[in-house]
Structure formats: structure tokens, C-alpha cells
Structure 1
């Protein structure tokens, strides 16, 4: 997810490292904060792979500042990742939201719809946080623990809202690709 976020934000404009970190933190929030110990090595790996470059700019003090900018290969890598996301980027909600934040950079509406259909198929598969002794999913109606019941009810409502949005957006994208 970190690489996707770096590529996505730099696709939009060159940024300094601290600006990039701030945008990634805004995207993932308190759920998955990004540390300097994760961000800067990831930037270095992307630079070594030829996906981004650093430009040195004069700083307000004596120290120069480094602006990060995607290369053509970096832009292509983002589009590739968006068109064919890893399964975890479909099944993990936070990773999916990071993917969705940049999906507009994949310019083909049919390709965008294909990604959303994968997420919709995942959400429509039966699942639960909890299972009974025979391996059957426990529903909110059958859950005696009020806290677990709450988790199941919130997840159900969130999933219903997301499925509705996905269905509507897939329809719009399919109409646009005709």
C-alpha cells in the first residue's frame, strides 16, 4: 500500500518527502500511520528502480530540500498496479481505499469497472468475523455477545453501503465505456 500511495500522490505532482508523508497519513489516518523508517527506504527503493527522481531545491535555511517526481516508468508502474491490483488490495478495506483514491489515473472506464467488480465479488462472498462450532458464520441475529453483535451490524451496514456505491459506479463506468 505504501508504494501505491507514493506512486499515486507523485503521479499528481512532485512533492517533498514531508509533504508526501503528510498526504499518505491523511489517506491512511491513524489506522496505518507511516513512519520515516518505512517511507524513506521505500522512496530509495523506488528511486533505485528508476520510478522516481529527486531534485534538489534551495531550502529556506542552509539545507537543500529534495523534491520527488515520478519518471515515465513510475507513471506506467502506477497504471499497471491500478489495472491489476494484488488480491490484498481488493480484500483489505484500507488497502482498497488507497487503491480507489488513485483509480482515476487508470483512464479506461472498462478497466476501472473491472477493478471495482473484483471488490464487489469479494464483498458478496459470504463471510463473518465469527464462526460457530461447526464452522458456520455467525450472524448478528445469532450472536449473544453484544459487542460482537455490534461489530457484525456495523460491518453489515458498511458493506451494504459499499456494495451500493460499487454497483452504481460500475454502471456509470460501463455506460461511459460504450
Structure 2
């Protein structure tokens, strides 16, 4: 299953809860810091996502250790998600950890897009090296296609653009070029690390003692 628009938020929630259980308010702050960098984040989209994750058994609710406050702590039914600071702690279940690993292995075109790439990148420390490299290379390929399209369009319309629009086009072009250079550096680093890891594995295997068959 590809990580679509809703899957990006799912990945962000599961990845955040993988680090530590969080109160609803803390989770909202963390997601806003994470997703806000890459796309417009709507709190209204968070609540349906949390309800679906709860229904699917991927996350669970638990009251605070002090039992919470008011009558909500005495009820077996969790209070509805609201804009107030929630006293309910959300934590990842075993099924949620499996789903997170599934999402982290997906390196198809959807993970190269603007709103998905940043979230995948934020959890690269949990992602296998081979998957990280595929995502980085895919993102670079997508941006190189975008660069070609922008350069072609700019060459065709340069004479018809006013100076401000032309500067805006150039600014966008330079931003994409900077990201491509950044991706090139990351890809080179990932490849160097992969080469070192293979060399270390080969060295470790060559250092293993050879069984003595004379005593058999």
C-alpha cells in the first residue's frame, strides 16, 4: 500500500509515538513542528486519523498515572478529542510498530513528493539504508524533472515576463537547484557508508575461525 496523503499523517503519528508515548497536546505540538515544515497541517485532519488508528488497534489510550482529573478518569470511555490539552496518553501498540515498519519500507514515487519526503526523511534513523538511498535518489530524480520543466518554461516565456515575475521564477529555480545539490551530498554519504559497511562485514567474515575438520 502506498503512503498517500492520509498515510503521511499516519506515518508522522506512528513515528512520533514510537519515540515515546505522548499526551494529545504534546503529540499535536510535535506534529505541528514536523509537518508544518513541509506542508500546511490541519488539526482537523489529526482527530479522524487518531480515531482510525485507535479503531485499527495501532495505537492505544491510557490514562495518566495520577488517574487524570474530573470524572473523565473514572470512565471507561475516553473523552472526545478536543482542542484542550488532553490528559489521555497515546502509545504505540505491537500492531502499530509493525505498521510503522511497513510504512518505513515504502520507497515508491509517493515518498518522493513534497509533502511525503520530509516526513520520511524525519524518520530516516528508523529506516534501512537501502530504502533511504532509494528515497533520496527518487526525490532527486523528481526534482531534476522539475528543473527541466521550469527551465524550459522560463526560456519560452522570459521575454513576456515582467522583472518581478522573472525574479520569482529564478528564485524558485535556485531553490530546487540547492535541494538537488543537498541530495547529491546525502546520496554520496549514504553510498560511502554502504561501501564501508560491506567492507566491515567482509573483514569480519574473513576473521572468523575456520572449523578444524581433522578432529571430526
Task: Say yes or no: TM over 0.5.
Answer: yes
Match of 1:171 in 2: 192
* Cα displacement string for residues 79-110 of structure 1 (whole angstroms, at most 9, x for unaligned residues): 11111145222122x4211111112223x333
Structure 1 counterpart of 2:132: 112
TM-score (norm 2): 0.67
Number of corresponding residues: 169
**Which residue of structure 1 lines up, in the alignment, with residue 83 of structure 2?**
none
Shift of 1:45: 0.3
Higher helix share goes to which structure? 2
Higher relative contact order structure (alpha carbons within 8 Å, sequence separation ≥ 6): 2
The structure 2 residue matched to 1:40, chosen from 44, 47, 51, is 47
Give the direction of change, closer, same or farther, for the CA distance of 1:123–1:72 in structure 2 (3 Å limit): same
1-structure distance, mates of 2:119, 2:54: 21
In structure 1, C-alpha distance between the alignment counterparts of 2:136 and 2:172, rounded to whole Å = 25
Is 1:138 the counterpart of 2:119? The answer is: no
Contact 2:136 2:183 in 1 (8 A): no
Q: Take 1:36 and 1:89, find their aligned partners in 2: how far apart are those partners?
A: 22
- Which of 15, 20, 37 aligns to 2:22? It is 15
CA positional deviation for 1:30 = 5.9
Work out the CA distance in 2 between the residues paired with 1:31 and 1:100: 11
Q: Distance in 1 between matches of 2:101 and 2:195?
A: 19
| Structure 1 residue runs without a partner (length 5+) | none
Structure 2 unaligned residues grouped into runs of 5+: 1-7, 74-86, 202-216
2:93 is equivalent to residue 71 of structure 1: yes
